[in-house]
Amino acid sequence: QVQLVESGGGVVQPGRSLRLSCAASGFIFSSYAMHWVRQAPGKGLEWVTLISYDGTNKYYADSVKGRFTISRDNSKKTLYLQMDSLRAEDTGVYYCARGVGGTLIDYWGQGTLVTVSS
Amino acid sequence: QSVLTQPPSVSATPGQKVTISCSGSSSNIGDNYVSWYQQLPGTAPKVLIYDNDNRPSGIPDRFSGSKSGTSATLGITGLQTGDEADYYCGTWDRSLSAYVFGTGTKVTVL
């Protein structure tokens, strides 16, 4: 069965960096685009970034462009999110999710909490 | 702020039907398939509907989806207490080159 397991969350000071990882299993990782989606406490879902199956194409929400970098290692079946210059408004649960056909996100991880606070 | 607009909340008694609207534009809903997601309290989202009106295996037929122009609708019939959750629409926006989610709708079973 498809499994996505995020790790790397924690408490970090404003302006610092953090790297999230997502370990995938149960499907051919190298055949699927992958997303990061976040959710601030008590708020709705916010899409963060998308990477194509081969890592060639990357897309970012305006709110993180220039600060966050998505990448993947298909040999390790792992997705990454490098988050630099973190702000308080980046606080939330970050979900790793599998994309299909551009309009569907069909499997989600359990999420990892990132708290940006001094 | 989201480019897809949903009502903040809807409510009904058990057994009744509710509908949730999702209003967008020609660059998102008008140009692409729509998906719907259910998020139960404290859990990750789960897909309910994809490609406007298709249900993944395991999703009961009490859940239905439709699309017309730049709007989409999720319907839930035979409402159950276990349906209390937040519901989001989502699709790709070609102008933004970004995936967009709706503002979210909280369903309450009275």
Contact assignment for A108 to B46 by CB distance below 8 Å: yes
Q: Which residue of chain B comes nearest to A102, CA vs CA?
A: B92
- Cβ-Cβ pairs closer than 8 A, A with B, add up to 66
pLDDT for residue B2: 79
- Mean pLDDT, all residues of chain B: 96
Q: Is residue B31 helix, strand or coil?
A: helix
By CB atoms closer than 10 A (0-12, 13-18, 19+), residue A117 is exposed
Residues B43-86: pLDDT tens digits?
999 999 999 999 999 999 999 999 999 999 999 999 999 999 99
User: pLDDT band for position B1 (50/70/90)?
Assistant: low
Contact assignment for A103 to B98 by CB distance below 8 Å: no
- The whole-angstrom separation of Cα B8 and Cα B22 is 11
Mean pLDDT along residues B3-17: 96
What are the 10-residue block averages of pLDDT along chain A, 118 residues in total?
97 98 98 98 98 97 98 98 98 98 94 97
Radius of gyration from C-alpha coordinates of chain A: 13
Contact assignment for B97 to A59 by CB distance below 8 Å: yes
Q: In what order do the strands lie in the sheet with B63-68?
A: B18-23, B71-76, B63-68
Concatenated DSSP letters of A9-74: -EEE-TT--EEEEEEEESS-GGGSEEEEEEE-TT--EEEEEEE-TTS--EEE-TTTTTTEEEEEET
Q: Does A111 touch chain B (CB under 8 A)?
A: yes
Contact assignment for A101 to B33 by CB distance below 8 Å: yes
Contacts of B47 in chain A (CB under 8 A): 104-106
Which amino acid is residue B74, in one-letter code?
L
How many residues are present in chain B?
110
- The whole-angstrom separation of Cα A46 and Cα A44 is 6
Judge whether residue B103 has pLDDT over 70: yes
Q: What is the DSSP letter of B3?
A: S
The residue among B31, B34, B99, B101 with the most chain A CBs within 10 A of its CB, best to mutate, is: B99
Residue located via tokens 């989610």: B101
Cβ neighbors of A116 (< 8 A, separation 6 or more) are A11, A12, A13, A14, A86, A87, A88, A89, A90, A91
